[in-house]
């Protein structure tokens, strides 16, 4: 590898990092010359955090609480946060994933005021039974919309097949029945445990200075409490819960999902190797993908992804296909071939270079820069560590990973068939 791309990436990910006395990690990437600012205020609290102890006290939650809490954070005694952001001209949003919740905004003016809104809305929670009852109806409608999404149904079915007890089996939004159990006390317990500064990050990129961000933190008078949170994960065997699932939905073409359950990997290098494997198996540069596509067996969206969480690690290959059984067989045969022969040297080099390029490209705008900074916090490492890890990955290490990963006896298959005419 040439040195120039490496140097460029290192320069691109340079940021200023400050850990406040209360434990909040502040990451800022000043980008002079850019017109806007993107800020992310996030916490290590997601849908899989259902059982935990806060300062020694046991808390057990129904599915969907993290996502529910995300919605409720925009409400306060003195009005809706979206309305406040509208007055400053900022575009605000939020999202909940399996292991984190993030609140964010993009602004080109009145940035300081928008930072004040962001920090206050998250650190001044306000819940009542009446507002919770109202939100239960709203999120219930959202859950029903997800039930009509083939992509989402495919993923949740794969997780339920791969895992016996891990909470990834649950939909991020929960169910209508599970969110009906939510109480103000539950939400306040989550805030105490996970919405404390030591569990959170404020990542900001764009036309701003670190001092501006630190000044906003001072104005917010963030809480100083540092609750001790102990996550409790259920025992999870390496076997799959169910090797196969099939059902039907209203769709034009069948959807296929093939998942592989793995022992959780640790460290940047191991994760990068796994990410690369999905591209080396069926990425757009591979002859296998071209064969599938040229024969009309898959659409352009067919591909693989890798996921690692606390107590969970898996590969997922998904997409539309007119011949799901054939594609599944071909996929398993291709993995076996690569296991015997090793990955293609040229494709490995192209994949590695592509990853470098994506790192550079992702850091050319304020949104992706702030997202990369926040992501480094959630993964517990600096972005520079990931660059060094990528640089050190060899073809031999990828081939070695194939010897133990992606084993057929730890796989599960999900097929969603189009409903027959007249089928209920």
If phi > 0 it is left, if psi is from -120 to 50 it is alpha, else beta; for residue 257 that is: beta
85, 176, 182: which is closest to 138 by C-alpha?
A: 176
Q: Which residues contact 180 (CB under 8 A, 6 or more apart)?
A: 136
Between CA 280 and CA 351 the distance in angstroms is 7
- 3-12 and 383-392 helices cross at what angle (nearest 10)? 160
Pairwise CA distance, residues 415 & 63, whole Å: 25
Task: Tell me whether residue 75 is one of the annotated catalytic residues.
Answer: no
- 3-state SS, 271-293, equals HHHHHHHHHHHHCCCCHHHHHHH
Token pair, residue 49, equals 């955090």
Alpha carbon of 276 to those of 5, 350, 390, 393: distances in Å? 19, 11, 10, 10
Residue 316 corresponds to which tokens in the numbers above?
């997922």
Catalytic residue, from 16, 21, 70, 358: name it. Answer: 70
Q: Supply the residues annotated as catalytic.
A: 70
């Amino acid at each position: 590898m040439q040195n120039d791309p490496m140097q460029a990436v290192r320069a691109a990910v340079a940021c200023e990092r400050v850990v406040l006395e209360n434990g909040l990690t502040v990451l800022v990437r000043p980008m002079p010359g850019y017109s806007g600012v993107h800020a992310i205020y996030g916490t290590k609290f997601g849908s899989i955090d259902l059982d935990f102890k806060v300062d020694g006290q046991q808390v057990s939650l129904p599915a969907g609480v993290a996502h529910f809490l995300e919605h409720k954070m925009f409400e306060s005694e003195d009005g809706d946060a979206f309305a406040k952001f509208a007055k400053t001209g900022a575009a605000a949003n939020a999202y909940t994933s399996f292991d984190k919740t993030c609140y964010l905004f993009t602004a080109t003016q009145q940035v300081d005021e928008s930072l004040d809104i962001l920090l206050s809305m998250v650190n001044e929670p306000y819940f009542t039974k009446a507002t919770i009852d109202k939100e239960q109806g709203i999120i219930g409608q959202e859950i029903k919309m997800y039930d009509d999404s083939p992509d989402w149904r495919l993923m949740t079915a794969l997780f339920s097949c791969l895992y016996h007890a891990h909470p990834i089996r649950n939909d991020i939004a929960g169910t209508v029945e599970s969110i009906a159990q939510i109480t103000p006390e539950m939400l306040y317990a989550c805030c105490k445990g996970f919405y404390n500064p030591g569990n959170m990050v404020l990542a900001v990129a764009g036309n701003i200075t670190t001092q501006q961000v630190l000044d906003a933190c001072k104005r917010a008078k963030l809480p100083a409490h540092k609750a001790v949170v102990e996550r409790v994960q259920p025992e999870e065997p390496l076997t799959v819960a169910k090797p196969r699932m099939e059902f039907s939905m209203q769709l034009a073409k069948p959807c296929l999902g093939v998942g592989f359950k793995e022992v959780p990997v640790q460290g940047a290098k191991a994760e990068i190797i796994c990410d690369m494997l999905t591209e080396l198996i069926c990425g757009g540069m591979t002859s296998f993908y071209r064969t599938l596509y040229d024969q009309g067996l898959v659409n352009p969206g067919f591909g693989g992804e890798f996921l690692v969480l606390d107590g969970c690690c898996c590969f997922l290959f998904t997409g539309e296909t007119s011949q799901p059984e054939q594609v599944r067989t071909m996929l398993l045969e291709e993995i076996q071939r690569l296991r015997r022969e090793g990955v293609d040297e040229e494709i490995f080099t192209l994949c590695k270079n592509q990853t470098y390029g994506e790192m550079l490209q992702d850091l050319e705008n304020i949104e992706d820069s702030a997202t990369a900074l926040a992501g480094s916090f959630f993964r517990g490492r600096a972005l520079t560590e990931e660059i060094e890890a990528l640089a050190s990955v060899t073809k031999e290490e990828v081939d070695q990973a194939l010897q133990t990963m992606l084993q057929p006896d730890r796989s599960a298959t999900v097929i969603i068939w189009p409903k027959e005419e007249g089928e209920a």
